[in-house]
Structures are given as C-alpha cells and as structure tokens.
Amino acid sequence: MSQNIKCLDPEEEETLLNVLGKRKDAERAHMLYRLMLVTGLRLSEALRLNVEDASKAKVDVQVKGWTCDGEKLARFKTDYFPKDLQERLARFLRFKRRRGESLAPAAPLFVSRESARLSCRQTQRDFKKWLKEAGIEGEFTPHALRHTAATKLLKKTGNAKLVQRYLGHSDVATTLRFYVDVFPEDLKLAAEFLSGKEKVGQFSE
C-alpha cells in the first residue's frame, strides 16, 4: 500500500462483507459499509442520510470544502443508488421496521442502540471490531471504504475525471494523490501489459 492511502484489497473487501452477511447482529454495519463501497460516500455523509433517502435512486449530498482564500465552501454532489443497492436498502428498511425503529422520512437511516443518529466515533469503533472479526490486519478506518471505491472505479474505467466527479472532489489531483492505490499484483500485470501479454482491463478491481 502507498503511504497516502489505506484501502482494502479485493480479498479483504470480500471477506469483510461475507463475515458481516452471516452475522445477525451486523445488519446495520453490513448495509453501511456496502453503501460506502458502492457510492464512495464519506462516513459523515453516509451517516447524515435519512430514511427518505433510502427510497431514492439518487441523492444530493452536501460536500464541505474550502476556497483558495481559505474560506469555507458548501456545494452539493449527486450520488446514485444502483438497482442492487436500492433493493438492499429496501430490505434494510424492513429490518428497521422489525426492530421498531422510526421510519419517518426525516428519521436517521443509521441509528445507535439508543435510537439516536449513529455517530462517526461509534462507527469507527465498530469498524475495528468487525475487521478483527474478519481477521483483517492493519490500521484501517471507515474512510478506507471510500478509498477502496475510488481505486476500483479508476482501475475499471481508467477515467480519473470520472472518479473525481464521483467522489465530489474539486481537483482531480486530490483524487490521484490520496484516493488511488496500487496492489502488488498490479505491478506484475503492468509488466505483462507492456510485454503485450495482458490487457488493461485485467488489472485487479
């Protein structure tokens, strides 16, 4: 892994989701992590989602940033929920109903045991717990899921501007510097590609 980035490799991602998918006490974490892996949302953005957002095909998410003069800047980006994710969100709403959680449109989508909006701090603690449960070593945070989404998307498309827009970055340099990782197997495939033995699309996703 590079020094600037911490993301899950394909095997780690699959292992984590498989472990969560088999645990009855991990429905919330499973939904949250998959949501972030598909949309590339920041943890704070995902936790700001409400119940009404789960029934949409796309949502407008506020992105906080700064101008060149150091002033705070608020802008919005659109995140799309593909059909598979919409179906998973619908099942998650049914799960919330069974638990007696509020399904009011403005109610938080992800809540704590006390029915309050789930906090970033609690999610970070839970993330470490589930990584340990999955046998994944390393100093990962939930932000690794956003990094993972960016890396997969760039390797699949080769389009840095697309990844920039998808993540909501104002500058493509930020995307390339901090959000794209290279796995060891990619270096081997790069050599094979230059020798004419591999295609670009065969790089890890």
Q: Average pLDDT for consecutive 10-residue bins of the chain (205 residues)?
A: 66 94 91 94 93 92 56 70 94 96 97 93 94 92 91 83 82 72 63 63 49
Q: According to the model, what pLDDT value does residue 67 have?
A: 41
How far apart CA 168 and CA 120 sit, in angstroms, is: 20
Q: How many C-beta atoms surround the C-beta of residue 89 within 10 A? A: 20
Whether residue 62 contacts residue 79, with contact meaning beta carbons closer than 8 Å, is answered with: no
CATH of 10-148, one of 3.10.20.90, 1.10.8.190, 3.40.50.300, 1.10.443.10: 1.10.443.10
Q: How many C-beta atoms surround the C-beta of residue 32 within 10 A? A: 26
Q: According to the model, what pLDDT value does residue 112 have?
A: 93
Number of helices (H), then strands (E), in the chain: 9, 2
DSSP structural state of residue 114: T
* Nearest alpha carbon to residue 7 among 35, 36, 32, 28: 36
Q: According to the model, what pLDDT value does residue 125 have?
A: 94
Where along the chain do its domains lie? Answer: 10-148
Centroid of chain to Cα 39? 6
Q: According to the model, what pLDDT value does residue 185 have?
A: 66
